[in-house]
Amino acid sequence: MAGMPDTAKSLQTHLEGFTNATDLDVKLVDTFRLQLNEESRKAALPIFLPLLTKTLPLTSSPQPLCALLISLLEPIRFSELLTLTTPAEILPTLTFPNAHIQLMGLRLLQKSTASPSEARSLASHPELVASIVNLSLVASNTEVADFAARTLLELLSIDKVGPSGVGEGLIWRRVFSDKDIYQSFFDNCSWRNKSASMSRAEKTLAQARLLSMIPKMAGLNWEVVSRSHFPQVEARFEGEGTLDGLLGFATAMVEMEFDVLMYMTVIEFYSEFLLVGPTAERGTAPGDKIYSTSKGLEYLIANNRHQSTIALYTTPPGEQSDQFTASFLTSRSASYIANYAKHFPTHLRESKDLLPKILKALSTYIPGPTGQGPHSRSLHLLASLPPSQVLPIVLEIPLAPPHPDYLKTLATILPADEKLYREYLRKNPSFYKKLVEYSSVIALKENAQASLRMLKGLAGTGFGLRDIIGSTIVMEFLVTVPQRVNIAAGRGGDEGSAFGIAVSRWEVMDVVAKGMAGGGTEFDNARRVWGKVVNERVQGGVYGAGAGGLFNGAGGKIAWEGM
């Protein structure tokens, strides 16, 4: 067979005689695939495409054939693929009850995401678009569902119309203006659809998958996702008078009072939805991701989702109707508020009475009941709020006994505000002594890394650098070369932790060295006392020059003023 691998004839014969009772010659298939090149793919495609399509449903091990088919079609555009096969031949790969075959079919359709013209080719075949939508919601295999959702979103992105898009909008029209395809979102996800033969678990999974796609869809085209397209469909599933289309359905479809896990999923959806269609805060850079408002936030406020989600956190536990359920929802609510506070600080500050309620709730979770670990989501929320507002709460965070969550939170907050830092040191006079102590215990690596992160953050500030240089215990700790852990002594599990801690320790020293070198005359005395030994420590690398350590000389030589 001219232009093809020498195994082509044997494989052709094998596939032509293939039946349900035939064992697939996997070695032959893989050998042929590995022998293919650009020229032989073109020669082999007309012969093997129909053979593979015929054979796939007959084998119990389709993965090798799927891999071969994908390899054969690798250089082919989707529009070219339609000249070699038909949508009717592709469709069974999407409905066949095998994840490998479904993934292969989706990979063929993903070719249409390469350009607007390729997307146009797919848009003219509603049965294929419908299959992508259906698999994204109800595929039994998670990888298949994720791949289908990703393909759908890529299609909508490449086909986006408008100033920021280059598409023609044909995929958008197919998904939102084809009644059958549009209704499939509702059929698969609504509890009002009594005809669908789906279990409760399958229905809630479809809902969760739709919720994961809605923020991305709305971010691409808010107007299309948030308006009505088929009122008779939406009224049937959403109720009369709803004009918010697929968005309105998605935010109303979940029976949250009966399913705490889905309630948690919905709150996570709100957290992502907050950032849809943002308006940058005046005077901020795009990379800051600080916004005055967003379409998502305004929608959540208009539909009371924002307020009710925050209330899950600010309502005292004793006043919650179901305290067991509330314990799960409170954490998700804290994460939502943290995301809101981080990206919309002015909006939060200008929201009447909201910040005092949040701070009051925070004070009940930090430091938390005696004997219980820290409420991690509340600590994350605390770190997202303006430092000037959280001083009394931060002062309640215990430095001892050490806990990595408390230390990580302090490492975020203290370097950001000198007043808060000074007040915390006033309450904890052994602050630096404790940090050195925690940084020295390899067995408690999370505490050590969090403490070193705190030292590094403070060393990057003028006020922290002055205190670190003025602390003999900290400077002696930093300039001392750490000992290696002896793997042969049976402590191999500690070796990786020890090295990571040693690297972090050296990084703190490097920040201190650069701060001293670049500082003004206030550091003259520090340079005289510590200059030489600090420079040698940085030059020596993680384990010091004399130990043949890694990263020797990584810091470069510091140019010390006044020396």
Which pLDDT score, from 0 to 100, does residue 210 have? Answer: 98
Is position 494 within any domain?
yes
Domain of residue 520 covers 409-563
Is position 214 within any domain?
no
- Domain boundary (47, 75, 103) is at 75
Is position 476 within any domain?
yes
312 CB neighbour count, 10 Å cutoff: 22
Is position 4 within any domain?
yes
356-373 pLDDT, tens digit each: 999 999 998 898 766 577
Is position 132 within any domain?
no
8-49 pLDDT, tens digit each: 999 999 999 998 888 999 999 999 999 999 888 988 998 998
Considering its fold, how many domains does the chain have in total? 2
332-350 pLDDT, tens digit each: 999 999 999 999 999 999 9
Is position 297 within any domain?
no
**What tokens appear for 522 in the block?**
């206030």
Which pLDDT score, from 0 to 100, does residue 394 have? Answer: 96
The closest of 512, 505, 516, 517 to 543, measured between CA atoms, is: 505
- Domain boundary (37, 53, 75) is at 75
Alpha-carbon radius of gyration of the chain? 31
66-123 pLDDT, tens digit each: 999 999 998 899 999 999 889 998 999 999 999 999 999 999 999 999 999 999 999 9
Q: How far is CA 493 from CA 153, 234, 486, 496, in A?
A: 43, 58, 10, 7
Task: Give the pTM.
Answer: 0.86
The closest of 239, 261, 260 to 248, measured between CA atoms, is: 239
**Residues in CB range of 73: below 8 A, 6 or more apart:** 45, 49, 81, 108, 111
The closest of 30, 41, 36, 31 to 80, measured between CA atoms, is: 41
- Domain boundary (75, 99, 115) is at 75
**Residues in CB range of 425: below 8 A, 6 or more apart:** 431, 467
497-514 pLDDT, tens digit each: 889 999 999 999 999 999
Is position 355 within any domain?
no
Is position 65 within any domain?
yes
CA–CA dist 274, 29 (Å, integer):
50
